[in-house]
Structure 1
Amino acid sequence: MTEPVGPAIARQRLHTYLRDRREAQGHTASAVAKKMRWSQSKLNRIENGVVTIQPIEVKALLEFYGVHDPDEVERLMDLSEISRERRWWREEKLSQEFKDFVAYESEASGLNGYFALFVPGLLQTPAYAQALSSPAIREAVADSTGMDLTEVRRKRQETLFDRLDGSRPPTLRMAIDEAVLLRPVGGGQVMADQLDHLLAVSRRPTVQLTVVPLALGAHGGLGGTFELLEFAGKQDESVVFIETAVDDFLLTEKTKTDTFRKIMDDLLSSGLSGSDATREIRAARRRLPG
């Protein structure tokens, strides 16, 4: 492989290549499935990235598509092998969309998001996260999966800060609504510690925190919280994740992700960043004990 990739990007590159190759040669999905002695639904799931494909199956499919370059075959078989790696999130009781999001998040070169109601999960202190998972909130939004969201959040944070401390740190750009700074989740001391943590994280060279002031009025972020992930590879498309009380949505269609990129860019340019953001966070912190 010419560059390191993880299972999420490996799967995306492979299923995109296989679908494009089939369409370029004019094969129908039903004809390919019949030739491979698969069900058409299996081929559809492979081409849509829903399931992985074994390296030996990749080799057989490439032979049918007339791909004989040994280096290219080896590259695609490598992608297949990487895509099948088991990471910690695959064992959690999460929605498939959330698992895919965590996989992409662990590989993204740029992590962007707008948060209107609470501090970004990746930047929450344990006490703040626990307060968000309080019985009152759990009763309001029943969780039938049995998953420990606090533990999942901790593992995501661990992955992020390991990467931020590494040789190729990702860029973290988070736009946080001013109301989030003023809402004392967990009480005054918990919120004070949370704001101190935001100030500490903001000093990292690849982290940009933007405060979206209430005085800004109507803006694109009022449509709701979202996270936008970008990748270093030019062929790797961005993804957008939207989490709600009942469903998670992972958007990969370029026309949709481009809309959220524009909203993100508008928020970053119209909000308060750098020393201005720091001043707002410190002002909110001074209202709290400690």
Structure 2
Amino acid sequence: MTEPVGPALARALLSRELRTLRGNTPAAAVAGAMHWSLAKLNRIENNKVTIQPLEVEALARHLGVTDGDELKRLVDLSLASRQRMWWREKHFPDELINFIAFENDATHLYAYQATFVPPLLQTRQYAEALTSSVLQTSPEDPAVVSLVDARMKRRETLMARLAGDQPPSVSQAIDESVLLRPIGGDDVMAAQLDHLVEMAGRDTVELTVLPLRLGVHPGLSGAFELLTFTEDRDLDVVFIETPGTDFLLTDAENTATYRRVMDELLTMGESLAEAVHKVRQAHRPQ
């Protein structure tokens, strides 16, 4: 590996490469040779489980890999995939945990939100007010605190990456109604708008606002977050959060649809700074 990667991306890359190495050899034959169940090999190749470094080396050798550097690269991927990161300590649904893990490595972070500020762009006070309202409990409730803490950790990680040598790109589209909804009250919303303007001024951050005058647009089908990776277009990940069940989409055919929607939304919007200015002008005391 030329650059370090986190556990989610490492596991995805490793599972893909092991499946490629197997080629046309029947899975049952490889599983038998490794003294594994067919189910175990299927889980490895479908990115459902991690695989120990010794097993990776043995499997790679069985599949014809003899080059020492290539074996080391595959073993390094296995080691990276087994790192224990902070999000694994959280008792969240698997879909959210896996999405946070991928987010840590994404090259480009996209999102569309129609009802509230995208998670990575929220201030703590805004996140507390929003989450306590959604969960219909107080901001001090442990469930609220846990979710907000995780959201702030995600934001902290993003800010650190943006300040690094290889910052990710961030492209997010927000419906104008989000700016008009004073979640947490006027003071909290004012601070949130300030933060959005500050973020929009960063070199690798693109924030756009879809004005209400547009009427219909592709984002009306629902909010989502999309992650892409320079390593491979087929590694795209989409996260959809709902009041009941969250969804993590990794199938290339499905994620390609969200790529197209996101591209269109980013071309339809207007400058976030201009939109915030209009909101503040409209609410200025006469």
Q: Same fold (TM over 0.5)?
A: yes
Q: Establish whether residue 206 from structure 1 lines up as the match of residue 204 from structure 2.
A: yes
Q: What is the CA deviation profile of residues 84-112 of structure 1, one whole-angstrom value per residue up to 9, with x for unaligned ones?
A: 11110011111111111111111111111
Unaligned 5+ runs, structure 2: none
What is residue 42 of structure 2 aligned with on the other side? 44
Q: What is the CA deviation profile of residues 123-149 of structure 1, one whole-angstrom value per residue up to 9, with x for unaligned ones?
A: 111111000122x42139xxxx95711
Mark the CA change 1:289 to 1:125 in structure 2 (over 3 Å): closer, same or farther: farther
What is residue 231 of structure 1 aligned with on the other side? 229
What is residue 260 of structure 2 aligned with on the other side? 262
Contact between 2:109 and 2:170, CA under 8 Å: does it hold in 1?
yes
What is residue 251 of structure 2 aligned with on the other side? 253
What is residue 184 of structure 1 aligned with on the other side? 182
Match of 1:73 among 46, 56, 71: 71
Q: Establish whether residue 282 from structure 1 lines up as the match of residue 242 from structure 2.
A: no
In structure 1, distance between residues paired with 2:18 and 2:221: 35
In structure 2, distance between residues paired with 1:118 and 1:235: 28
What is residue 11 of structure 2 aligned with on the other side? 11
Equivalent AA in structure 2 for residue 16 of structure 1: R
Pairwise CA RMSD? 1.9
Q: CA offset at residue 287 of structure 1?
A: 4.6
Mark the CA change 1:70 to 1:235 in structure 2 (over 3 Å): closer, same or farther: farther
Aligned length: 280
Contact between 1:196 and 1:285, CA under 8 Å: does it hold in 2?
no
Q: CA offset at residue 255 of structure 1?
A: 1.4
Mark the CA change 1:288 to 1:50 in structure 2 (over 3 Å): closer, same or farther: farther
Equivalent AA in structure 2 for residue 218 of structure 1: V
Mark the CA change 1:271 to 1:226 in structure 2 (over 3 Å): closer, same or farther: same
What is residue 149 of structure 2 aligned with on the other side? 151
1:119-130 mapped onto 2 (5 Å cutoff): 119-130=117-128
Match of 2:134 among 133, 137, 153: 137
The percentage of counterpart residues that share the same residue type is 52
In structure 2, distance between residues paired with 1:31 and 1:288: 70
What is residue 20 of structure 1 aligned with on the other side? 20
In structure 2, distance between residues paired with 1:267 and 1:244: 21
What is residue 118 of structure 1 aligned with on the other side? 116
